[in-house]
Structures are given as structure tokens and as C-alpha cells.
């Protein structure tokens, strides 16, 4: 309709949803998002200011989906901050549990808690996102969880069952090592607009 527009929202959850719907409906759309973390310092400040918003942002940053809102009430998330679905083969969809720790005080108990959550939820993979650097004991505990084996196009492959990713590594482009991610199961996609509407949208931006 020839409009220039600005959308405003207060949560990372809503902003990411709008981003995804725009990109699903208009694959060539161009827009700028202002206010969400763009640097390590931005993310650290968000972690200090609002732990729950930081958790949601961090989950989205690795391509996962935040836990359902009703499960995000204080003390009720059951150790699950996000989920990421993947396909170890052509017929199976599996779950990767995501846990986010925004504080500076972290320890090996957090890795053990994640392993316990994976066992309870029967999830073969888990990712722990930390704002601080993990300790050697945390890294050793993650390694002791073993490996998940799957069939790749090159034959048998394996990835660590528990993976630790730091905030700094997210900004360096590091993402979970998983078999084929299943975006359709992780996120509900918006219908793609007809080609003529896509072209019209691109001309306006």
C-alpha cells in the first residue's frame, strides 16, 4: 500500500515471531531490527537487566524455540528453556533440550541437571548456553555424557550428547552440532505470499 512502517514490541519472543513471519511470507523482504542484542556487550547487559528475556533471546539465537509461556513461570520451567527438533533419519524427529544460564556463577551441577532433564524427557541431545566461561569440570562432565550416533549421507556420524556454548561463541557464529535441523517442527511457518505481492513488498523497502 506504499506505506513506510515501524513496528514496536517489548519482548524478544514477539520480535522474533514477527521476523520469521515476514521472512516466511516475503523471502526477499529487507528490514532492520533495532533494540535486540547485536554485540556481546549488548547481550551481557540484557542478561543483567532481564534474565528471562535474555533466555528467550539466547534460545532464538541458536535457532531453537523458547519453552511454552505457561512453562516459563518462575520455578516451573522444569529445566527446559528451549527446544530444537532434528531428524537423525528420514522417519524420526528427535528433541534437543536447551538450558540457558545468564549468571556469572556456574558449575558442574548445571551440566548434571541438564543430563537429568534429557533423561526425564527422553531427549538424546542437550545444549547448555552460558554467559560465563564453563569450568574444566563442566566440560569434563559434558564429555562424559557420551555421543549420539546417527546416519548421515556419508555414513555413520556422531555428535556430543551434551554441548556447551558460551555467549561469546554465539557471536562468533557457533551453533549446536546436530543432525538435520527440522525447522518445520521447531517453528510454525507462515504461508508464503504470492509472487506479485513479494515483488511489491521488495519495491517498497
Residue 3 lies in a domain: no
Q: How many domains does the chain have?
A: 1
d(CA 72, CA 65): 13
What is the rounded CA–CA span in Å between residue 47 and residue 102?
6
pLDDT of residue 70: 45
- Partners of 129 in the β-ladder: 100, 165
Q: Is the residue at 53 inside a domain?
A: yes
What pLDDT, on a 0 to 100 scale, did the predictor assign at position 189? Answer: 52
Query: Which residue bears the cell 554467559?
Result: 131
CATH number at residue 140: 3.40.1350
Q: Which residues pair with 99 in a beta bridge?
A: 128
| Chain segment 95-139, per-residue pLDDT in tens | 999 999 998 899 999 999 999 999 999 999 999 999 999 999 999
pLDDT of res. 77: 58
Check whether 184 has a pLDDT greater than 60: no
Residue 148 pLDDT exceeds 70: yes
Q: Is the residue at 93 inside a domain?
A: yes
Model confidence pLDDT, tens digit, residues 55-78: 999 999 999 988 865 444 445 557
Q: Report yes or no on 115 lying in a domain.
A: yes
Q: Which domain holds residue 30?
A: 12-204
Residue 2 lies in a domain: no
Does residue 155 lie in a domain region?
yes
**Length of the chain, please?**
205
Cα gap 1→48, rounded to integer Å: 41
Instruction: Please indicate, yes or no, if residue 4 is contained in any of the structural domains.
Output: no
Q: Which residues of 32-53 are buried (b: 16+ CB within 10 A; e: fewer)?
A: eeeebbeebeebbebbeeeebb
Residue 48 within any structural domain of the chain: yes
Q: Is the pTM of this model over 0.85?
A: no
Amino acid at each position: 500500500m506504499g506505506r513506510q512502517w515501524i513496528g514496536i514490541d517489548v519482548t524478544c519472543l514477539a520480535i522474533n515471531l514477527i521476523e520469521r513471519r515476514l521472512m516466511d511470507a516475503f523471502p526477499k523482504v529487507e528490514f532492520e531490527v533495532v533494540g535486540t542484542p547485536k554485540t556481546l556487550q549488548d547481550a551481557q547487559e540484557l542478561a543483567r537487566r532481564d534474565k528471562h528475556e535474555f533466555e528467550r533471546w539466547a534460545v532464538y539465537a541458536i535457532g531453537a524455540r523458547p519453552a511454552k509461556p505457561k512453562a516459563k513461570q518462575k520455578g516451573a520451567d522444569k529445566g527446559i528453556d528451549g527446544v530444537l527438533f532434528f531428524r537423525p533419519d528420514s522417519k524420526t524427529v528427535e528433541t534437543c533440550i536447551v538450558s540457558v544460564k545468564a549468571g556469572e556463577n556456574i558449575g558442574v551441577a548445571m551440566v548434571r541437571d541438564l543430563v537429568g532433564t534429557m533423561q526425564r524427557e527422553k531427549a538424546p541431545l542437550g545444549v547448555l548456553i552460558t554467559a560465563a566461561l564453563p569450568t574444566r569440570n563442566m566440560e569434563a562432565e559434558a564429555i562424559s555424557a557420551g555421543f549420539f550416533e546417527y546416519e548421515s549421507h556419508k555414513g555413520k556420524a556422531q555428535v556430543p550428547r551434551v554441548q556447551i556454548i558460551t555467549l561469546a561463541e554465539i557471536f562468533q557464529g557457533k551453533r549446536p552440532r546436530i543432525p538435520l535441523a527440522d525447522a518445520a517442527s521447531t517453528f510454525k511457518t507462515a504461508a508464503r505470499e504470492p509472487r506479485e505481492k513479494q515483488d511489491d513488498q521488495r519495491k517498497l523497502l
